[in-house]
Amino acid sequence: MLWFNCDYNEGAHPRILERLAQTNLEQTAGYGADPYCRQAEELIKDLCKAPQAQVHFLCGGTQTNLTVLAACSRPYQSILSPVTGHINVHETGAIEATGHRIEALPQTNGKITAAQIAQVCKEHWEDDNPEFAPQPRTVYISFPTEYGTLYTLKELKEIRRVCDENHLFLFIDGARLGYGLTAPGNDVTLPDVAALADVFYIGGTKIGALLGEAVVIPNLKLQKDFRYFMKQKGGILAKGRVLGIQFLTLFEDGLYLELAKHANDMAALIKTACKQAGFSFLYDSPTNQQFPILPNDLLANLEETYCFAHIKRMDKNHSAIRICTSWATRKEDVLQLTADLLKLAKEQDATHRVSFIQQ
Amino acid sequence: MLWFNCDYNEGAHPRILERLAQTNLEQTAGYGADPYCRQAEELIKDLCKAPQAQVHFLCGGTQTNLTVLAACSRPYQSILSPVTGHINVHETGAIEATGHRIEALPQTNGKITAAQIAQVCKEHWEDDNPEFAPQPRTVYISFPTEYGTLYTLKELKEIRRVCDENHLFLFIDGARLGYGLTAPGNDVTLPDVAALADVFYIGGTKIGALLGEAVVIPNLKLQKDFRYFMKQKGGILAKGRVLGIQFLTLFEDGLYLELAKHANDMAALIKTACKQAGFSFLYDSPTNQQFPILPNDLLANLEETYCFAHIKRMDKNHSAIRICTSWATRKEDVLQLTADLLKLAKEQDATHRVSFIQQ
Amino acid sequence: MLWFNCDYNEGAHPRILERLAQTNLEQTAGYGADPYCRQAEELIKDLCKAPQAQVHFLCGGTQTNLTVLAACSRPYQSILSPVTGHINVHETGAIEATGHRIEALPQTNGKITAAQIAQVCKEHWEDDNPEFAPQPRTVYISFPTEYGTLYTLKELKEIRRVCDENHLFLFIDGARLGYGLTAPGNDVTLPDVAALADVFYIGGTKIGALLGEAVVIPNLKLQKDFRYFMKQKGGILAKGRVLGIQFLTLFEDGLYLELAKHANDMAALIKTACKQAGFSFLYDSPTNQQFPILPNDLLANLEETYCFAHIKRMDKNHSAIRICTSWATRKEDVLQLTADLLKLAKEQDATHRVSFIQQ
Amino acid sequence: MLWFNCDYNEGAHPRILERLAQTNLEQTAGYGADPYCRQAEELIKDLCKAPQAQVHFLCGGTQTNLTVLAACSRPYQSILSPVTGHINVHETGAIEATGHRIEALPQTNGKITAAQIAQVCKEHWEDDNPEFAPQPRTVYISFPTEYGTLYTLKELKEIRRVCDENHLFLFIDGARLGYGLTAPGNDVTLPDVAALADVFYIGGTKIGALLGEAVVIPNLKLQKDFRYFMKQKGGILAKGRVLGIQFLTLFEDGLYLELAKHANDMAALIKTACKQAGFSFLYDSPTNQQFPILPNDLLANLEETYCFAHIKRMDKNHSAIRICTSWATRKEDVLQLTADLLKLAKEQDATHRVSFIQQ
């Protein structure tokens, strides 16, 4: 079987394993106070053009989200998120378990707008008794979104402006940040993200690391005492170097963006083949996740060889799936997949095909 | 500098790194559903002689403690812990942050007794309004303790009996379990631990792994829905295999206990030298942590070459320190340390020395 | 000004104040262990035909909701509520602050259906990784709803069946229970509520008491340790008799339902007048809350004399308001209001009027 | 039976009930926005000489403590309390349930010292990894303490200074504040309390009200958004006037202090009688709670007529009890009690008596 169901099916990029082996017997301080964490922090701050920022290393996405959002919020404050946000649908109430309400906003292509955020704040503050509802405090968005789509720089700037006007923090979940930064058509850079967000993270787990997310905190207010939050939530790794070494390896020679771009390129080949075969997409993603809508019988054939994630039953004959590529995806496997896909599509009776409008 | 301040100064045992490299490009399911996690689980259950148990893999100690204790407790229930318990002093209120009170009991050599536990329960249930105080529900102890000391099998059995009589869960923190199991004089086996505890964990971070703790849950009641707790607390690793592979490597050929025993042997050499030099100990530990009381001037001399953890100022001339060994401690370094220590002790004017009674 | 904006503008029914005065100097035990609380409990159990039930007295609605739902839930379990449920919109995240996620379901007339609940459960349990989302555990509905509407007995029985099939608790918020039980067309009795709900409460604050809600717990599982939850959430009143005496007074001679019926009758007069005047309603309520849609100029005129709650701007010329009656509403005031309303409606140019379809 | 076991055995002072009856049918806004709450707030601010303060009304002590301490703390911050503090022993982990750790300090006569507080802070900030333990943020003390004892003005000023030096809030639990302010020997005034504390409360429940605690917040930082905390914790009463009217009645003519002084006077009679009879005291209290140590047989005799609270078994023949007086305690009952006590003491064989050193 060839697995295209997610972007964390393999271990780490070999250079990471090599580096771990090379440094293995060096003795270092624990809990992130080692030289590798410090070097990785400096490197990331440089690349972000954010000398005032702090960088902290955590193990995984849910841990990062719940730690950052606890640091952003007083107990009565809420987090605004697209209804499809990872924190709202896929983390077992991890945010609520820290005591905070998520206000889920309707999304379009996985995104929310500055106008929606402004409207929520307006309604809150115009209420006769605003204290009878949680106070909006933080905006949570993902770049790329759960659907692989991207905010434009203009959209992000508008969201920033609305956040400033309403005294809100902006937290950008970058579990797949690299895929967004290297996507065709993207106009957002890493320094843009660092300039616009109060806090964001650079995902390692899904782009080449064994595990690890680098939290970048440009906003000084959120820096204070952040390590207390990390420790309390179980997020300070004793051998912090395991994270520092990985991020140092990913960032010192541009490996991170290189791996992300490779995955995007592989996804683009699949996207092109799906279009060629006449298939629609549930979302129009320029990144490493593709959401084509396939006839069920064709899908069944493909699934004898390939593994995908099922996303949505469109009608009795069609299903939307997610096809993911990663740093580890081999071009030969992609070419085999696209060839099989085109061959099967051709064989299929064209009259059975239905085109779905992209949503 | 040679570091003896803790047991997580290096990376992982080389066999772990090799195994990670060998399996690196295999595609596996995420979130602990891979074959390595399953094999490691089966192996650990076998070694525990607990076929009914569940085994889950988490990243670190605080994360494990807060996840397990959340699973043990309803909101109004408390955890009984020695006042020196890791959860009570060194986790930034992680347990309280999940809503639970820790009832800290006075300790002797880092340990609490069955009688103390029984007494707390008696007082709770005899109160006219027991509901005005948290209800005792879980006993938290560590094996070895924070002071490197060990419960005897008899002591653990008595604690178990009291737990049964009072409807309490027993959770054994085994962050350094291997050091306890292989200590001279220890009469507790892994199957004993699995038979006596409702839930415990086998620490990997401090005995040879990059990171990782294996939670073993013999009690069926605590097994139900445990993964919900793991996910909510940010404890399910996307690339769960990273943990599974490490524990498989540690347990399939007895490597875990071998590494622990090595560390204990190295610690014993240091202990012997300290005794020879006429020094007292803050605690009498048979495991990899030693707590000698040294004259400050001798200590200052040693610290030009060696790094220790300072534990307690005993008087103006003496300090108790912690000396730790680990899987990575080299015998030649230990011999150098003990030689230096004996040499310095000899040079020192004997009249300056004060003997401290062990506490 | 005459206030019709809510049902808690006055103090308590005079018989309650008299009873408090009569018993004032009696010495009783604290914390709800007094004879009045016990008598009130027995009386309520009798009226509910639920001899196995427990009855506890709390101060207010939010306190009751957060205490009951904490008792219903493990940390990873969620509460299903109509999106308009009080807990979802009007309690400052009180439920989330206890760590639980509310899954808000679309509502019709303030109500959710058995089918919706079943669907949520189906989707949860059919997911490949159910533990990545909170586990549905409790259904929260209100009787009457926030919109003054009522579930039929058939609807409640269907919800009960679905709860049984899916291992869910059913919690009925009865902050205005009496208004529902005495509404025209209602076919649900107090024993029905006690037979169908695992836990519910009988609101005193909004029907004649100074303060107080009586929590009835028919389900034995939820009875255990409930007072621990009450105490921990600050809900055990030192002078518990203040609540016991009030509920005893409200229930020993049928005063509670009498007061509720009076309020409903007064509301019906207002409803009839609104209909006569040709106005539509935002919701069709048979209880003490009415939601007519009035022309803004007419409303402005009325508001020189009467106080209402503004609910929704319908268009630039019309607004939906809430008119509330209570035990204290005087018939003469209602007749004056309806007369003014009809007079103003007549004066107004009929061509300006727009009829809104009930939602 | 005559009850002396606590200070909340009766209802409210009659003037409160009268005032509730007089105002009963007035229509007022809900949730504390009524004129009575506002008048009571202004009056209390005047009496506190704290024009910048806010005053809020809550129902009970545990509710007040958990709400105030949530407002004082970020999630990783702890509360320093005497080990005997009400929040530490008698509130079912209510504070921990909001996520915060209580650091319990050894007490003397129910009190802690400025030096102890300074020491805890020093140890925290001198640690190499302060973030591995909760950060001290708030000092919680009671005036009077659980043992009826009082801090002197000098002691309070020293605590204030240490709080200032260590960036700590000072919260004074005044559940029995009046008893302290009117005690013989006390040198602390209400304006002193308001000048020294960042937040404190004036207990109504235990001094003449049906229920109610008035939270006074002199510190502007803690004022912001306090009502969000109140609402989220279930602490905003719909008919807030019930609290406002009571505090207005208690404070507009000095009734509050008058009632407290009466109770202290009654307690002093009992204290004198106990001393006359040769009995020792567990604590030397100048307020309405007395803790005499009585021979068990004498106690058994007394308990045929009087109800006390048992505090501690001193040895096999002696017990310490708590005798409480209140606004409702009648002098004739006290005189009867003291007469009986002296008579029984006289009858008893003097050789059986043992004197206990005050602790």
Output the average pLDDT for chain C: 96
Together in a domain, A227 and A243: yes
Together in a domain, C223 and C280: no
Specify if D9 maps to a domain: no
Which tokens is D34 given?
């009524």
Per-residue pLDDT of chain D (359 residues; tens, 9 = 90+): 999 999 999 999 999 999 999 999 999 999 999 999 999 999 999 999 999 999 999 999 999 999 999 999 999 999 999 999 999 999 999 999 999 999 999 999 999 999 999 999 999 999 999 999 999 999 999 999 999 999 999 999 999 999 999 999 999 999 999 999 999 999 999 999 999 999 999 999 999 999 999 999 999 999 999 999 999 999 999 999 999 999 999 999 999 999 999 999 999 999 999 999 999 999 999 999 999 999 999 999 999 999 999 999 999 999 999 999 999 999 999 999 999 999 999 987 544 555 554 44
Can you state the angle between helices B153-165 and B114-126, rounded to 10 degrees? 10
**SS3 of residue C15 by DSSP:** helix
The answer to whether B24 contacts A12, with C-beta atoms less than 8 Å apart, is yes
- What's the confidence (pLDDT) of residue B275? 97
Together in a domain, C219 and C263: no
Of D353 and A139, which is predicted with more confidence? A139
Specify if B31 maps to a domain: yes
Which tokens is A67 given?
């730690």
Together in a domain, A299 and A185: no
Q: What is the pLDDT of residues B25-58, one digit of tens each?
A: 999 999 999 999 999 999 999 999 999 999 999 9
- DSSP letters for B197-255: -SEEEEE-TTTT-SS-EEEEE--HHHHTTHHHHHHHTT---TTTHHHHHHHHHHHHTSH
Specify if B217 maps to a domain: yes
Q: How far is CA D272 from CA A314, B5, B87, D258, D335, in A?
A: 86, 61, 48, 21, 11
Whether residue B122 has pLDDT greater than 60 = yes
Can you state the angle between helices D14-22 and C14-22, rounded to 10 degrees? 170
Region label for C234, one of left (φ > 0), alpha (ψ between -120 and 50) or beta (otherwise): left
Together in a domain, B306 and B215: no
Specify if D43 maps to a domain: yes
Together in a domain, D205 and D222: yes
Q: What is the pLDDT of residues B309-335, one digit of tens each?
A: 999 999 999 999 999 999 999 999 999
Which tokens is A77 given?
């404050």
> Is it true that the peptide bond before D144 is cis, omega within 30 degrees of 0?
yes
According to DSSP, the residues that pair with B2 across neighbouring strands are B306
Whether residue C145 has pLDDT greater than 60 = yes
Residue B157's closest CA among B201, B189, B122? B189
Q: What is the pLDDT of residues B269-312, one digit of tens each?
A: 999 999 999 999 999 999 999 999 999 999 999 999 999 999 99
Q: Which residues of B touch C225 (CB under 8 A)?
A: 74, 76, 131, 135
Q: Side chain identity at C32, as an amino acid letter?
A: G
Q: What's the average model confidence in pLDDT over B201-215?
A: 98
Together in a domain, B165 and B117: yes
- What's the confidence (pLDDT) of residue A357? 47
Q: Which residues of A touch C100 (CB under 8 A)?
A: 93, 96
Together in a domain, C234 and C339: no
Which tokens is C332 given?
């003469």
Specify if C300 maps to a domain: yes
Together in a domain, A150 and A181: yes
Work out the minimum CA distance from A39 to partner chain D, whole angstroms.
20
Span between the terminal Cα atoms of chain A, in Å: 30
Residue C268's closest CA among C175, C208, C327, C338? C338
- What's the confidence (pLDDT) of residue D351? 44
A350 burial level (CB within 10 Å; 0-12, 13-18, 19+): exposed
Dihedral Cα A142, A144, A146, A148, nearest 10 deg: 170
Residue C131's closest CA among D38, B67, B212, D94? B67
Beta carbons within 10 angstroms of residue A83's beta carbon: 14
Confidence of residue B211 (pLDDT cuts 50, 70, 90): very high
Q: Do D15 and D327 touch, CB atoms closer than 8 A?
A: no
User: What percentage of residues in chain A have a pLDDT greater than 70?
Assistant: 97
**SS3 of residue C111 by DSSP:** strand
- What's the confidence (pLDDT) of residue D355? 53
The answer to whether D76 contacts A229, with C-beta atoms less than 8 Å apart, is yes
Task: Reduce the secondary structure of chain D to three states and give it as a string.
Answer: CEECCCCCCCCCCHHHHHHHHHCCCCCCCCCCCCHHHHHHHHHHHHHHCCCCCEEEEECCHHHHHHHHHHHHCCCCEEEEEECCCHHHHCCCCHHHHCCCCEEEECCECCECCHHHHHHHHHHHHHCCCHHHCCEEEEEEEECCCCCCCCCCHHHHHHHHHHHHHCCCEEEEECCCHHHHHCCCCCCCCHHHHHHHCCEEEEECCCCCCCCCEEEEECCHHHHCCHHHHHHHCCCCCCCCHHHHHHHHHHHHCCHHHHHHHHHHHHHHHHHHHHHHCCCCECCCCCCCEECEEEEHHHHHHHCCCEECEEEEEEECCEEEEEEECCCCCCHHHHHHHHHHHHHHHHHCCHHHCCCCCCC
Q: Which residue's entry shows tokens 């836990």?
A: C199
- What's the confidence (pLDDT) of residue D219? 98
Residue of D nearest to A235 (CA): D132
Which tokens is C124 given?
């949860």
- What's the confidence (pLDDT) of residue C303? 97
Specify if D356 maps to a domain: no
Whether residue A356 has pLDDT greater than 60 = no
Instruction: Give Cβ neighbours of residue D22 (< 8 Å, ≥ 6 apart).
Output: none
Domain boundary among B213, B235, B253: B253
From the list D1, D23, D234, the residue facing C233 with the nearest CB is D234
Tell which of B233, B325, B327, B332 to mutate to test the A interface (max A CBs under 10 Å).
B233
Give partners of B (≥3 CB pairs < 8 A).
A, C, D
The answer to whether A211 contacts B238, with C-beta atoms less than 8 Å apart, is yes
From the list B76, B97, B132, the residue facing D75 with the nearest CB is B97
CA angle (C97, A87, B30) in 5-degree steps:
125
Domain boundary among C228, C253, C278: C253
- What's the confidence (pLDDT) of residue B357? 47
CA angle (D236, D238, D241) in 5-degree steps:
95
Q: What is the pLDDT of residues C235-294, one digit of tens each?
A: 999 999 999 999 999 999 999 999 999 999 999 999 999 999 999 999 999 999 999 999
Look up the CATH number of the domain holding residue C330: 3.90.1150.10
Q: Indicate the DSSP class of residue A281.
A: B
- DSSP letters for B57-95: EES-HHHHHHHHHHHH--TTEEEEEETT-HHHHSSTTHH
Whether residue B349 has pLDDT greater than 70 = no
Together in a domain, C280 and C248: no
Specify if D308 maps to a domain: yes
Q: What is the pLDDT of residues A143-166, one digit of tens each?
A: 999 999 999 999 999 999 999 999
The answer to whether D135 contacts A227, with C-beta atoms less than 8 Å apart, is no
What phi, psi does B108 have (nearest 5°)?
A: -125, 120
Q: Which residues of D touch C94 (CB under 8 A)?
A: 231-234
ipTM: 0.95
Together in a domain, A264 and A248: no
Together in a domain, A277 and A182: no
Q: Do C147 and C60 touch, CB atoms closer than 8 A?
A: no
Distance CA C174, CA C270 (A): 23
Distance CA A79, CA A247 (A): 29
Whether residue A205 has pLDDT greater than 90 = yes
- What's the confidence (pLDDT) of residue D357? 47
Confidence of residue A348 (pLDDT cuts 50, 70, 90): confident
Whether residue A261 has pLDDT greater than 70 = yes
Q: What is the pLDDT of residues C7-44, one digit of tens each?
A: 999 999 999 999 999 999 999 999 999 999 999 999 99
Q: Do A43 and A248 touch, CB atoms closer than 8 A?
A: yes
Whether residue B351 has pLDDT greater than 60 = no
Q: What's the average model confidence in pLDDT over B183-194?
A: 98
Residue D10's closest CA among D328, D264, D334? D328
Q: Which residue's entry shows tokens 């990899």?
A: B288
Beta carbons within 10 angstroms of residue C217's beta carbon: 25
Range of the domain at B172: 14-253
Specify if A9 maps to a domain: no
Q: Going by DSSP bridges, is the β-strand pair B199-203/B213-217 parallel, antiparallel, or unpaired? A: antiparallel
Q: What's the average model confidence in pLDDT over C314-331?
A: 97
Distance CA C81, CA C173 (A): 11
Domain boundary among C218, C253, C288: C253
Distance CA B146, CA B82 (A): 10
Q: How many domains does chain A have?
A: 2
Q: Do A245 and A36 touch, CB atoms closer than 8 A?
A: yes
The answer to whether D96 contacts B99, with C-beta atoms less than 8 Å apart, is yes
**HSE (side-chain half, CA atoms, 13 Å) at D53:** 30
Q: Which residues of B touch D90 (CB under 8 A)?
A: 132-133
Look up the CATH number of the domain holding residue C162: 3.40.640.10
- What's the confidence (pLDDT) of residue C351? 45
The answer to whether D211 contacts C238, with C-beta atoms less than 8 Å apart, is yes
List residues in chain C touching B: CB distance below 8 A.
31, 70, 74-76, 98-99, 129, 131-132, 134-135, 225, 227-232
Distance CA B204, CA B255 (A): 11
User: What percentage of residues in chain B have a pLDDT greater than 70?
Assistant: 97
Confidence of residue B348 (pLDDT cuts 50, 70, 90): confident
Give partners of C (≥3 CB pairs < 8 A).
A, B, D
Output the average pLDDT for chain D: 96
